[in-house]
Amino acid sequence: MHATLPLLRITEFPQLKRQQLTTLQVNLGYRCNMTCVHCHVNAGPNRTEMMDHVTMSLIPPVLTARKITTLDLTGGAPELHQGFRQLVRKANTLGVKVIDRCNLTILFEQGQDDLAEFLAQQRVEIVASLPCYSLANVDKQRGDGVFSKSIAALQKLNTLGYGREDSGLVLNLVYNPQGAALPPDQVRLEIDYKRELFKHFGIVFNQLFAIVNMPIQRFGSTLISKGKFNDYMRLLKENFAAANLDHVMCRNLISVDWQGYLYDCDFNQQLGLRLPSGPNLQLREGPPHLRHLLREDTEGYTIRVADHCYGCTAGQGSSCGGAL
């Protein structure tokens, strides 16, 4: 049982306005083959929430209507959704870049034998979680045997061209701290990752994204149970860097949950903080939903902020694309 999280109150965090929408980040469902300690989605094998066909069918026309350039697919393990491959193919025909947030071990799940080949064929950009380059640290955070499977998956992706210069197949890795600490400098850490992974396993990749652990869901509950929640929030606030405000992901991204409802970011989604209704998306039509994006833009809308937003602006900053 997870500890109860304190409500993240409305704060003195600066108000932000949405800019032009360029990225649609879609959570296809919370089902996953793993149960990671740092997971802010609380995903796992027993979760049943998955996007239905009607909602998924709205995504391609929204991409066209809003002239969106990037479709960022996440979960859970997004590849477990039965409509994942069809959606990837459709987005490709529209000329939209597709990102798959992959946990790597999914490549060895039943029914996913050809997943790596499919991703390469469709030229999907892979963002893969690998919180460390050592076995002990990864297995501690993600479960026994995960490191070995992750290494095997990366090697398989490399054989298909992923991460290799001039292949056009982008493979980026994600680092998360082991606990209640900020990530180290992303540039220096990337150098270490590239050196160690190539030296010991012959693995190459494009970039490393260092991402702050958000004090919500499973990780937030862990902080509460260890009595570290308040200290961690203090750490984030004390390291606030105003310069990061210009680059936070919520300015150009909309997060979509498995039911099609809209949020400023994936973290707001997990806290149930839906996209505020603006001059175009009126409450009388129900909470902002994918179908509203077919006819209305969100540029200029006020972004919903709370204490967890300090996680994106602390130190070097943090977004789904790593340091800011």
Question: Per-residue pLDDT tens for 172-227?
Answer: 999 988 788 999 999 999 999 999 999 999 999 999 999 998 888 778 888 899 99
Cis check: omega of the bond before 311, within 30 degrees of 0: no
Whether 282 has a pLDDT exceeding 60, the answer reads: no
Tell me the domains of the chain and their CATH numbers. 16-313 (3.20.20.70)
Q: What are phi and psi of 106, to 5 degrees?
A: -60, -25
C-beta of residue 24 within 8 angstroms of C-beta of residue 63:
yes
Q: For the beta carbon of residue 116, count every other beta carbon within 10 angstroms.
A: 21
Please state the length of the chain. 324
Which of the two residues, 167 and 284, has the higher pLDDT score? 167
> What pLDDT was estimated at residue 192?
94
The mean pLDDT of the chain is 90
Entry pTM: 0.91
**Contact yes or no for 19/69 (Cβ under 8 A):** no
pLDDT tens digits for range 106-146: 999 999 999 999 999 999 999 998 888 878 777 676 667 88
- CB within 8 A of 176, min separation 6: which ones? 38, 129, 131, 141, 183, 211, 213
pLDDT at 142: 67
Q: Looking at residue 34, what is its pLDDT?
A: 82
| Percentage of the residues of the chain whose pLDDT score is greater than 70 | 91
What confidence category does residue 7 fall into, taking pLDDT thresholds of 50, 70 and 90? very low
